[in-house]
Chains A and B, each alone.
Chain A
Amino acid sequence: MSSDNLSRLAVAVGITLAAYCLLAPTDFVVQVILWMALAAVIAAAMRFVMLIGEFNMATGAFYGIGAYTAGYIATSLDWPLLLTIPVAGVVAGLVALALGYATMRTSGAYFMLISFAFAEIMRLFYVESDFLGGNNGILGILVPAWIEPYYPAFVVIVCMMLIVALAVVERSHLGKIFTAIHNNEQVVRSVGINVLAMRVTCLVIASIVLGIAGSLYAYVASVISPGDFTFMLSVFALAYVKLGGDKHPVGPVLGAALLTLVAQYLLGFGAYDQLFYGIVIVMAMLALPNGLLGRLAQLRLVKPLAAALHSPGGRDA
């Protein structure tokens, strides 16, 4: 696997945090680490679909599909945790396959609009479905006793593996096709690649990852309701990506970690939360076109970082 110093550093930090979770599985810091890890996956999945030049406003919705799938089969069917998590990923992937084939035929703004509407449709579907608990959602999604002490560490490790998996795909042959579709779709078409299939593949990969992350979240929260997975979640994900920088896989992780920390320690929830995230997005747009990572690279503080950013997909080691 090719990698660069920035990615190695990020993985090292992740392992350290996972180790901390093993040592103190119940304190508040661990809760914050869990939110950071999950937010980082959502942001990474958001950025992954941005590789083909699309904004997936249903990012939060696919995370919700994973959470609801896991919640339903854990509480109503009593399946074991290690089975519900992959199933949640598969279900989210299948929904993405259907949505993608129906809506990815045109480029431009259409997918953005339809994915935004899809997030709202999923919310209506949860509210209308009695077997999913309607407005109240699903309660009592409990972590089995045998894994409980290790669960936070498990979540952090799985989140890290998901982010690494997305980064690996991005640097593979497939990832280069995704970037090429974004740069010039006609050229990709001219060498005989099925662009629609590739675009759908990109969405499906991101959605499987989101589904798995959503199922982890269901057990962390133990209560899920329709309002948890609106398009606002996608907007927050976009804020993470824009703040961290979208040129490198570590960007969204950095943005997610920073904003989650700030939101946890400086703000309550409610109106100020939205204001804060909104200001972050606008400021990042106007002042940090390439995010914090881009700004750091400009300052030449970290030489290897600049090198990693200048070749999209990092250097081949």
Chain B
Amino acid sequence: MYNILVGGAAGQGIDTTVANLEVLLKKAGYYVFTIKDFMSRVRGGHNFSLIRFGNEIITSHSNELDGMIALDDDTVELHKQNLKQDGFILCDTKLTTTDPKAIKLNMGGMAKELGNVRVSGSIAIGVILKLFGIATDHVEETMKNLVKEAYLDMNVKAVRLGYESVETRFSITPGNFSDWMIISGSKSLALGAIAAGIKFYSAYPMSPSTAIMEYLASKSVEADFVVEQAEDEIAAINMAIGASYAGARAMTGTSGGGFCLKVEALGLSGIAEIPLVAVNVQRPGPATGLPTRTEQSDLKFVISAAQGEFPRMVIALRNHKDAFYQTIRAFDITEKYQIPVIILSDQYLGDSTATVEPFDISNIKIANPSNDEYKEGEYLRYQLTENGISPRLIPGKSRNFVSVDSDEHDERGFITESADVRNQMMDKRMKKLELLREELLEPEFFGEENCETLFLGWGSTYGPIAEAVSILNEDEPGKYGALSFGDVYPLPTKLLMEKASKAKQIVNIEQNATGQLKDLIREQTGILCTGSILKYDGRQISGEEIVEKIRKGGQK
């Protein structure tokens, strides 16, 4: 597989070049995995993307570069030490670098001659295709979907011009991925919500969660649902709860700080038993933290967010496929149990793009918000039942009143201060967890069945850990295995107990400073980790970094 960096200042067109290049590579049959590393500014600064491609599935980024497209001098200076021996620097003649690895082309001038200086990105794409010996058969057809019709011809010519400007240096046979999708984690999550029949999404713009709102808003007319940009995070979640109460399947999304504001209403969803899917695309904190970067430090926060006790579920997304299917599952579980379901994503997963098999939508079954016409007697919104789940009606759909309350309430939904009723209602709500436990998904295991060293991770470290396990097992066969958690709360413990009892070392790998999963596991099972690899500089750990740290002794 190969790895290319595209870097420059914000506003220089990195995103467009990357988006076009990754689609062309995928159309040519390659598996493509791209991450974005950018600063919290609109113009200037230093941003880059890493495009990794090959003929087999790739789950992690890599910092070792086969080449780079440098749009400014900073990019060359900051990244040339990561270039491999035969690596290249593709740049315009206007750059000052005299590095022997540089391929300097007058791309700006060529683009101007073609009619628009902005097509220099397409020239660079042509150069890349040629350097790696990739055929240009799909260029015209693919570009049709990527650029405006008026600019199509110019861009196709630019790709060909770039293609003719260099000689092939690398060789790689394509894979069979041309019919797969290439999609970001946030868009995949949003697609899952649409597949689940979302009717209402409310949010306040906040990086890196805004991508979900943007995608949903762009499809709301086509897919028939309402997206409302709320005045603040508090309004956003209370709106989602109001819409859900009225019978519209609803979701709200934000990032760490926004989730802090939503906490009281999360408890409202819990005590009022109103279905709600709440997404937290994590970024480093506290407060404003590093707005455009990545971290996994909200696990302990979201499992205990809001005062008091109530049942909830927390699902951490591990990859782009999870983002789709687990979002659908979140809607299913919130509807079924009438509890809030929190989805934890992060900037790394949300903004990265990966090649995934088209999603299977043939088996999506989510119970409808009740359409029942309640027939006799008084309807009790909070009826005490065996399993803790009360029949839910939608206001206005039947001749029954649907009364919900944030205060402790009786079966009708009216305020009470009775000690007995309080006990009954607490027991009723908490009972739902017993049923929920039965359908928890065990963590995914990969590596050697009887591994000596067991890695534990959750969420988006899935891919880097998977890559690390496979590299390490090549060197030391049979030694390494890993459990990656998706369902994190309640915590499924069966497979964990089994694997942990056999392993000699247990190492938790997390994107936070304290080892939050490690603590949760100790609390729930008494299992202790013997080592930790923790990263919290705002950049995601790669498979190669994990390998390096293990070889240095397994500690951070």
Q: Do A and B come from one complex?
A: no
Binding site for B on A (CB under 8 A): none
Binding site for A on B (CB under 8 A): none
